[in-house]
Amino acid sequence: MFKALWCVLCLVFLTSCSKPQFQGSDISGSTLGGEFTLSDHSGKTRSLADFKDKIVVLFFGYTHCPDVCPTTMIELKNAMQQLGKKADQVQVLFVSVDPERDTKEVLSQYVPAFDSRFLGLYGTPEQLAEIAGRYKIIYQKQVSGSGDYTVDHSAGSYLLDKNGKPRVMVSYGAGAGVFVHDLTLLLNE
């Protein structure tokens, strides 16, 4: 009898000490990320430290993106709606990979159109390259014959905990439900 009770207690203890079961890819403990400073769509200088004690969703994209970026931004908008009041503890940061076109004015029209709490961030090409490198983001301008261009870029979103540490990578097209699930886990830590 004692042996059976001991096994049950051990199982309960092990279950309570297990890591959260994210639906996105758990990247806890990775060497990705780090502090950065960029300008937001209102012209204010922002650093990652400004959002300490909030969960940060970090997405690299651009406003002229025909598919990946608006799809992801709609998923994030829907996730924020589903989170209700908890959404106030989440900060979505849209980092532009198109410094030529994504000016303060363009970002100020695009990003808040999805949710007024979302912030569009921009910087110099050098700042962008440095930050993208730390988050292993790939982006490359693709010029067409007409001179117009698109930007191929990594399509996942990072979820950073309240201390700014990358914890989850949500793949493109995962859906609002994955964001809600994983954000809720991080909010409850």
DSSP annotation of 176 reads H
**CA distances from residue 37 to 81, 100, 116, 130 in whole angstroms, order as listed:** 28, 18, 21, 11
Q: What's the rounded Cα separation, in Å, for the pair 45 and 182?
A: 28
**In 3-state terms, what secondary structure has residue 141?**
strand
Binding residues for Cu cation: 65, 69, 153
Q: Give 168's contacts (C-beta < 8 A, 6+ positions apart).
A: 22, 24, 25, 26, 27, 158, 159, 182, 186
Helix ranges (DSSP H) in the chain: 2-16, 68-83, 104-110, 125-134, 176-187
Quick count: other Cβ atoms within 10 Å of Cβ 103? Answer: 15
Binding residues: 65, 69, 153
Tokens of 136: 């292993």
